[in-house]
Structure 1
Amino acid sequence: MLYALFIVLIVAWALAFWCTRLPRHPQMDKTRAAAPRDDTAAARLWPDITTSGLTPLPDGLDAFGARLKLIEMAQDRIDAQYYLWRADSCGDLMFHAIVEAAKRGVKVRLLFDDNATQVLEQRIAWADSHPNIEIRLFNPFAMRWCRPLSYLMHFTRLNRRMHNKALVIDGRAAVLGGRNIGNEYYNNLSKIGLFMDFDVLVAGSGAQAAQEEFESYWNSEPAWPARALLSPKLYEACEKGQEECRAVLEHSDTKTFAKLLKNSPVLADLGSGQISLRQAKVSVLYDPPNKVLGRAKRRKLLFPSLHMAMGNPKERFDIISPYFVPGRRGRNQLIRLAKDGVKIRVLTNSLASSDQPIVHTGYVGHRRKLLKAGAELYEFVNDQKVKFRRGLIGRRRRGTSPFARNKLHAKILSVDMQTVFIGTFNFDPRSLFLNTEMGVVIEDKQWAEDLHSSFQKVIPSAAWRLSIDNQRIHWHSPAQDAPAQNSTRDHDEVWTHEPYTSWWQRAVVIMGGWLPIEWLL
């Protein structure tokens, strides 16, 4: 009986594995965009192709407005690469703008990670049916209707995702940073809260480097034509995608957000050609696309290149990462730096603000040793009563409720007030070894000083400051470290456990720390 059951299980597993494997990869011509022209609107933003001009986009409305205006300005091509693209107001405003650009003759290439495209499939078929639009899915699921089974059968491959985010216009302007396309990154229409993030608009040589990054992923083995994976029925009824998009665009929330966009000074400045860009030395760094196949050599990964570009900190090292899982090796390196006199400051999510509580389990075990070594730890406040100062980081989005709940999503590194990294890279094992990541290194003292100044002004009013006393961690409320006018709290608070969490949440984190899953976080 047991032998027969064993045989049945083996046959069932083999059948499931066979049904969820990818078919033969279709033959695709490797395409490269033509050399960018000098007479496009994007080129006029920064005419010197040998240098880079850039401006920060800390505000959500500005970041989204910049994307829409650049798409509207496009004359030759639009290349977009994203980990997540929601079927919501922001997602459909972008889809609509891209299709309108294609209608006027602009060539469009869209590359989506396939992890969260289920709700987009009808829209993808609609857009992909346009002769000027081509869509590819990165590291795809073969079984479209039962993704969990595919994930189970092909965990090693499907657990690795393309986390990159880039929008490149005419090869001469790009928006890079940590934001996906969805309401939670730009406005208060999302039901899951707001994500505090950071993008940068780059023109000139930095945009060309972003174009090269896109080309390498577009022509890579893990990138599949959407038409080879989606059901033909979706393409036969592709107009349904247009109807789905139109229904969202006509919703009152979308119309309200579209009105708020008109308040974006970046959108207005781009439209008038008066956007102010500052020259800086820029390097675009990224993982090789075959990292998701487990074939990339470690010396070719983003982090070694990042370490080489930024160097070893001598005085200061600021880390802003929503998910901070340094691991034993990373923790010990930070401790050595702190003992050598380097001022270490880390801002990450608190347990209450994190959208991935399981990742918090990989962080809590390292807090005590880091604090003992002298590192400064700050955890982002998930308190709707706190109003944040304006600055490069911590700025509440214009047009949103002053009491909207915020979550940290920015990924920024700063070394010695000389060099800054802004991108998609989280300080965790998943970004190091599993997902592909990208970002921009800015070698500019003014950028680094602005970030440092913002850290000094904003963080005390937006994050819990951690301290340690006799092995006991204390969380000091923002009101203790910021002037009273910057907080609506009536009194200072010191917590001896994770603020604004239940005993059950804390117990889950403790139990999660017992599991050998840090390499997955």
Structure 2
Amino acid sequence: MTVIFCRLVFALPKSTARSDTVAKPAPGSGPLAVALSESRSGHEGLTGIAPLEEGANAFAARVSLADAAISSIDAQYYIWHNDLTGYLLLDALQRAADRGVRVRLLLDDNGVSGLDCELAHLDAHPNIEVRLYNPFNLRRLKRLSYGFDFFRLNRRMHNKSFTVDGHATILGGRNVGDEYFGAGTSALFVDLDVLAAGKAVSDVSADFDRYWAAPSAHPAGAILGKIKSENPICEGLARLRKNPRPNAYRELHETPDIVEALAQGDLELEWTTALLVSDDPVKGEGAVPREDLLAVRLMKAVGEIQSRFDGISPYLVPSRAGVRAFKALKKRGVAVRMLTNSLEATDVLPVHAGYAKYRKRMLRAGVKLFELRSQAAPNPPSKMFGHFGSSGSSLHAKTFAVDGKRIFVGSFNFDPRSTTLNAEMGLLINSERMAKGIHEAFDRELAGLAWGVELNNGHPAWVDLKTGKKTGEEPGSNTFKRIALAVIGWLPVEWLL
């Protein structure tokens, strides 16, 4: 009765004047159209791909695309922080709207804490509309909403895309926040995005329209309430500039303009075929038939794996089914290698408990495991780490390479939450160059930036790949963490991880 009462009292407001707009056609003029005109020539029906490895470059790419927009910006994110990069990118969207660009901003409400005032301000702009995916019933003490609306709020939109003028899009693993772009004081996330032009852009735009019109995407105006400040974005930026981090701020503003780089031919696009794989947004409302899940459709699209599978997932909880799949691959002679976070590097301890539960089973199945070290290496050259970053203390990239031919880049983790609960998206790209970059990084044993994990007398042992030294004590462990990992491993919560 209490749950029903709370749902009635704290029901989400209904929008009576909702209008579901669709993506605008790509304009034939403007900086982006001009910059891509020569590169796109002769590549009709193909997708141009450029990896964005370094955080500062990935951030600058978004800002320079926004500043070049003349028609539309469609942005979709799981997390958008109220920090330096978060405010700078909100300001870029606001500037674009002031020029007459239509901006649609779709955000998962789980990852926008502290931004209600800023989002309400943007939503009030005549050229901006903000929508929130599965919004929380309570705006203050949001987490209390789980107490009476758990099953809806447990389903989140994990997608990330940034599409400008229908000409270019950025998608991959990065959310919007200082740690994703190397601008924060906390640990840097090792991550990977790709810039795409051509065929994939129209696919991403159509997919954005599906999510924009989904029942789980609610117009933000009635939820966020009245504007409480004249321009909270400018005020936020002014506040942050009083206590600047000079190096981070300078690096973010001294990176090359990606639109100019495209126009000058300094940024090379690899023109190839790429398939967008995305969950149906109905996943945010409840169960989806197994055959419609991204994970199932992605594996069908990959096809039969012949010789090599190298995967990178910050949150690796394979479940029994995943271990069986790894074992079947090994039985067919496929070499399987996986990189995930070590205990000392992870930012989500419960997920590591789910991984640790299956670690020995994966090793017995023949999977070669690597775990990223918390302090990888002092300023290593980026080529050491292939196409998924240079250094850092916490892994966030979600990618895998198959047979030296194909690579997936997106938001999908190898865990039950990505498979059955969260909405996910990504590109499966036919690229020998990018796939071989991942394979070669594993061949070099990740340049010593990760621990190798192997069985020693039936128990996991961690190998320092730089020195060859071996230890049976898990790096980063202590009494509290060992107890927590054991207890979480016993609990029936794997479906939540």
TM-score tier, shorter chain, comes to over 0.9
Alignment size in residue pairs:
489
Inter-CA distance 236–259: structure 2 relative to 1 (3 Å threshold): closer
Corresponding residue of 2:65: 70
Counterpart of 2:129 (choices 134, 147, 158) is: 134
Query: Per the alignment, in what secondary structure is the counterpart of residue 490 of structure 2?
Result: coil
Q: CA deviation at 1:345?
A: 0.1
Deviation of the 1:445 alpha carbon: 1.9
* Cross-structure match for 2:105: 110
Deviation at 1:304, TM superposition (A): 1.8
What residue in structure 2 maps to residue 329 of structure 1?
Answer: 321
Corresponding residue SS for 2:444:
helix
Q: Secondary structure at the match of 2:103?
A: strand
- Give distance in 2, aligned partners of 1:295 and 1:345: 31
1:101-500 equivalences under 5 Å are 101-191=96-186, 193-232=187-226, 235=227, 237-249=229-241, 251-253=243-245, 256-265=247-256, 267=258, 269-270=261-262, 272=264, 274-383=266-375, 388-391=380-383, 392-393=386-387, 395-396=389-390, 406-457=393-444, 459-480=446-467, 492-500=468-476
Return the letter of the residue paired with 1:307: M
Question: Quick check: 1:502 aligned with 2:490?
Answer: no
Residue 19 of structure 2 is matched in structure 1 by 29
The verdict on how the C-alpha distance between 1:90 and 1:272 changes in structure 2, with shifts beyond 3 A counting, is farther
SS at match of 1:176: strand
Q: Distance in 1 between matches of 2:373 and 2:306?
A: 30
How far, CA to CA, are the matches of 1:120 and 1:215 in structure 2?
Answer: 24
Q: Secondary structure at the match of 1:243?
A: helix
Describe the shift of the 1:241–1:59 C-alpha distance in structure 2 as closer, same or farther (beyond 3 A): closer
Q: Based on CA coordinates, which of the two structures has the bigger radius of gyration?
A: 1
Note closer, same or farther for the CA distance 1:137–1:238 as it changes in structure 2 (3 Å cut).
farther
d(CA) in 1 for partners of 2:466, 2:305:
31
The secondary structure found in structure 1 opposite 2:283 is: helix
Cα separation, partners in 2 of 1:420 and 1:355, compared to 1, 3 Å: same
Offset of residue 465 of structure 1: 0.3
Query: Which deviates further from its counterpart, 446-455 or 93-102?
Result: 446-455
Could you say what secondary structure the match of 1:360 adopts?
Answer: helix
Indicate the larger mover: 343-352 or 142-151: 142-151
Deviation track 1:235-257 (CA, whole Å, cap 9, x = no partner) reads 2534344322332255422x543
Deviates more, 1:493-502 or 1:385-394: 385-394
Cα pair 2:104 2:128 within 8 Å, conserved: yes
CA drift at 1:493: 3.0
The answer (yes or no) to whether the contact 1:93–1:249 under 8 Å persists in 2 is no
Q: Contact (CA 8 Å) 1:114, 1:140: kept in 2 or not?
A: yes
2:132–2:217 contact (8 Å) kept in structure 1 = yes
How far apart are the structure 1 equivalents of 2:85 and 2:263? Answer: 20
1:271-323: CA deviations, max 9, x gaps? 75642111111111110111010153222221122112111212111110000
For 2:365 and 2:319, locate their aligned partners in 1 and report how far apart those are by CA, in whole Å. Answer: 16
**Shift in alpha-carbon separation, 1:151–1:221, aligned structure 2, 3 A:** same
Separation of aligned partners in 1, 2:358 and 2:140: 40
Aligned to 1:118, the other structure's residue is in SS state: coil
Where do 5+ consecutive residues of structure 2 fail to align? none
2: CA distance, partners of 1:419 / 1:439: 13
Question: CA separation in 2, counterparts of 1:501 and 1:386?
Answer: 23
Q: Does 2:8 correspond to 1:18?
A: yes
For residues 69 and 225 of structure 2, the distance between their equivalents in structure 1, rounded to whole angstroms, comes to 31
Normalized against structure 2, the TM-score is what?
0.93
Whether the 8 Å contact between 1:78 and 1:108 is mirrored in structure 2 is yes
| Alpha-carbon displacement from aligned partner over 1:99-131 (angstroms, at most 9, x marks no partner) | 111111111110110113230111111212211
**Offset, 1:370:** 1.7
Query: Residues 143, 312 of structure 1: CA spacing in aligned structure 2 closer, same or farther, 3 A cutoff?
Result: same
Cα contact 1:55–1:202 (8 A) shared by 2? yes
Instruction: Tell me the CA shift for residue 422 of structure 1.
Output: 0.4
Unaligned runs of 5+ in 1: 1-9, 398-404, 481-491
Cα 1:279–1:394 shift into 2, 3 Å: closer
Q: Is the 8 A contact 1:129 1:238 kept in 2?
A: no
Mapped pair 1:515 → 2:491:
yes
Give me the TM-score of the superposition, normalised by structure 1: 0.89
Could you list the per-position Cα deviations for residues 19-50 of structure 1 after superposition, in whole angstroms to 9, with x for gaps in the alignment? 23323354412211232123232234243552
CA RMSD of aligned residues (A): 2.0
Residues 73-97 of structure 1, C-alpha deviations (whole Å, 9 max, x = no match): 1110011000000101100110111
Alpha-carbon separation, structure 2, partners of 1:130 and 1:246: 21
User: 2: CA distance between counterparts of 1:124 and 1:238?
Assistant: 13
